[in-house]
Homo-oligomer: A and B are copies of this chain.
């Protein structure tokens, strides 16, 4: 059984939890509070030198990092992970877009404004950039969705899971989505997919012994 090292309120961790739930894959979970430095301990760094969650133990002692790589691994062979060469490339295109245009901006704003709180003054200079770049990413997404239900391959895939994670909490980070109607309709469509779970949903699986 997989063990997932995860933080409940982390969007990147939520991607893995959402896919595992929708694929009906059982797993153990270990909650790691990055706000308390639990991903920077020597034990954790020995598992993932990048010091980040999520981290999936795919076999005893074998660890896979990076939320979007974890999505490709757990969804491999399922309709969520397209096999066709161009469908796969377009799914990847949006997942790379997510990691350099969406997550570093909306994810960072969410982290400081909603999780850490009180970071508003500290991060004032960076926050302006995150808002500007975050809105630019949201506009690109909204435009793409004007004539499509999902991001790639003509169906719900792990590209949607990856992009949903931080987009659906953008309002907690002060982004206003009123001017992105296609994006809001897509958020609703994603939430209606079979076996969808909310970010704050508690796992019905056993907490791993530590």
B67, B76, B86, B96: the one contacting A88 at CB < 8 Å is: B76
Interface residues on A, range: 20 to 34
In the complex, what distance in Å separates the CA atom of A205 from the CA atom of B61?
47
B64, B67, B85, B96: the one contacting A66 at CB < 8 Å is: B96
B88, B97, B140, B143: the one contacting A72 at CB < 8 Å is: B88
Which residues of chain A in 147-198 are interfacial with respect to chain B, using CB atoms and an 8 Å cutoff?
A: none
Judging by beta carbons under 8 Å apart, are B104 and A50 in contact? no
| Chain A residues near B (Cβ < 8 Å) | 49-50, 58, 62, 64-70, 72-73, 76-77, 85-86, 88-90, 92-93, 95-97, 99-101, 103-104, 125, 140, 143-144
Copies, count: 2
Q: A96-B99, A104-B104, A125-B125 are in contact. List 16 more A-B contacts (CB 8 A).
A: A50-B97, A58-B86, A66-B92, A66-B93, A66-B96, A68-B92, A69-B89, A70-B89, A72-B92, A73-B85, A73-B86, A73-B88, A76-B85, A76-B89, A77-B85, A96-B96
User: Given the known A-B contacts A49-B144, A64-B93, A140-B50, are A100 and B101 also in contact in the complex, defined by CB atoms under 8 Å?
Assistant: no
In the complex, what distance in Å separates the CA atom of A72 from the CA atom of B64?
19
In the complex, what distance in Å separates the CA atom of A96 from the CA atom of B88?
15
Task: Please give, as numbers and ranges, the residues of chain B lying within 8 Å of A93 by CB-CB distance.
Answer: 64-66, 69
Task: Please give, as numbers and ranges, the residues of chain B lying within 8 Å of A66 by CB-CB distance.
Answer: 92-93, 96-97
User: Given the known A-B contacts A50-B140, A140-B49, A140-B50, are A90 and B104 also in contact in the complex, defined by CB atoms under 8 Å?
Assistant: no
